[in-house]
Amino acid sequence: MGGALLVAGTTSDAGKSVLVAGICRWLARRGVSVAPFKAQNMSNNSVVTPDGGEIGRAQALQAAACGIEPSVQLNPVLLKPGSDRSSQLVLLGRADGTVSAMSYRDRKAALLDVVAGSLARLRAEHDVVVCEGAGSPAEINLRDADIANMGLARAAGLPVLVIGDIDRGGVLAHLFGTLALLDSADQALVAGFVINKFRGDPALLAPGLEQLRALTGRPSYGVLPVSDELWIDAEDSLSHAVDEIVGRPALPQGSQWLRVAAVRLPRISNGTDVDALACEPGVAVRYVTEPSRLADADLVVLPGSKSTVDDMAWLRRTGLADAISEHVAAGRGIVGLCGGFQMLGRRLVDEVESGAGDVPGLGLLDLEVCFDPDKHLGRPTGTALGEPVTGYEIHHGRITHRGDPPLVTLADGTGEGADAGPVMGTHWHGLFENDGFRRALLSRAAWLAGRHGFCPAPATSFAAVRTAQLDLLGDLVETHLDTDAVTELLEHGAPPGLPFVPPGAPSTVAWSDQT
């Protein structure tokens, strides 16, 4: 087997990431050397790779589905939104300035060469590369500068599957309209469709798929059922609804639940850090955005942020800052991660992200932070709460003063983070994924909150839970996708002679004939 294909979506969060991961898992379990690829990602959920760069977290999960280490080649262009109008550009794993929508458009022609080079390298190293698009391929106002959807498919000769989320409603119209807004050369690469998140009787959907095939000349490659078990490492933190329990926690080992409130910051970064907590039996994790939801929380998590100073101002504006202070004054625990850790300190000096200069923090840790222009990336190891830990760091903030004991002791004896009893913090992401540390943290939180009936489960393995989810994705693909047809696409590309569906992209329409 050889080749590559592109999974495009009718919308953001249509299921592209999970379908790519599922196809990768299915192939890897058959012994195929496979790699994922996303030319351009826009996300504040990212990881540090063994080759020292930063990529989208979804591509790291897809790499795990393939059984390979993540690399900067898997996601050569990453945009990290810092506001509604600007994003940090991460190119081949390294920050490369800030772009607006218009200035980024001017850079795309040069970036296409970078993207094509990364894809060519992966195709030379692996039997198959499964590519993920970005947003929708039918964004006709952006098509001329596209490097992630049909622009990439055209440049690399990739067959395309378009996935739509039936849970949103109107999926047949979404699929038809996406195809019908592409020009003839783009349409020639679209081989067919996949329906995601279906629930109910497939016989009711079948006539619609047949009519869609009659209208477009393209088949459905499968209908993936909704699965409540799939929730870890969602690409977008918005996939976790506010005030709903994250994940599917098992019943407590003891007589009491532990309640965790994770603050949904407007520019939350790496919100998936709390997924590991939500894997624990008896731990109920909720995302919250208003103060009353902290009143009965046993542990508060203040996650990372792409705009630390602005999100701290939001905490004050909403009353959450006061609620956090009251929570700590009551002796209950809080953990700050990366930007959330920095907010807990006395003082931040930020001329980099916000340009706000000297800004007071929440004052819950004896900590001062100065933002450096250069971003710090790392994959450190150490010990914390008496347990061996690993993690990764992605931040501009540099500690200039810390009066509290460190939370983590590194191999060289230096310290990282802060541990002031109820108030803890660290720049590390992924710390909760360390099973021993996580159990020690939850035990401390339960003790501080007086939840003496809570007992951490002795054998929960976050790595095993994640592996089970990847295997479930592989099972869904193997059971519900036409895998023979997918294999044919990988080996031979899009079928020849696929019909054109009018009207096509605006440049191919005689608009004078429409008036």
Whether residue 338 lies in the annotated active site: yes
Q: In angstroms, rounded to a whole number, what is the distance separating the alpha carbons of residues 269 and 87?
A: 13
Q: In angstroms, rounded to a whole number, what is the distance separating the alpha carbons of residues 105 and 228?
A: 38
AA letter at 252: P
Catalytic residue among 338, 395, 427, 480: 338
CB contact at 8 A, 42 and 166: no
Closest residue by Cα to residue 249 from 286, 289, 220 = 286
Q: In angstroms, rounded to a whole number, what is the distance separating the alpha carbons of residues 156 and 296?
A: 54
Q: In angstroms, rounded to a whole number, what is the distance separating the alpha carbons of residues 219 and 366?
A: 62
Helix (H, G, I), strand (E, B) or coil at 166: helix
Estimate to the nearest angstrom the gap between the alpha carbon of 249 and the chain centroid.
21
Phi first, then psi, for residue 343 (nearest 5°) are: -60, -30
Distances (CA, A) of 235 to 45, 58, 238: 7, 6, 9
Whether the bond into 137 is cis, omega within 30 of 0 = no
The CA-CA-CA angle for residues 340, 342, 365, to 5°, reads 105
Count Cα neighbours of 7 within 13 Å in the Cβ-side half-sphere.
27
The pair of structure tokens assigned to 64 is 């795990």
What is the dihedral angle through the alpha carbons of 350, 235, 489, 113, rounded to the nearest 10 degrees?
0
- For residue 463, give every residue at least 6 positions away whose Cβ sits within 8 Å of its Cβ, in sequence order, or none: 433
Whether residue 395 lies in the annotated active site: no
Catalytic residue among 327, 429, 455, 480: 429
CB contact at 8 A, 308 and 351: no
CB contact at 8 A, 375 and 344: no
Pairing relationship of beta strands 268-269 and 283-288 according to DSSP bridges:
unpaired
Burial of 83 (0-12, 13-18, 19+ CB in 10 A): middle
Closest residue by Cα to residue 60 from 314, 247, 235 = 235
CB contact at 8 A, 166 and 198: yes
The pair of structure tokens assigned to 55 is 């990529």
CB contact at 8 A, 11 and 136: yes
Alpha-helical runs (H) found in 291-433:
308-318, 320-329, 339-343
Q: Which residues are catalytic, by number?
A: 338, 429
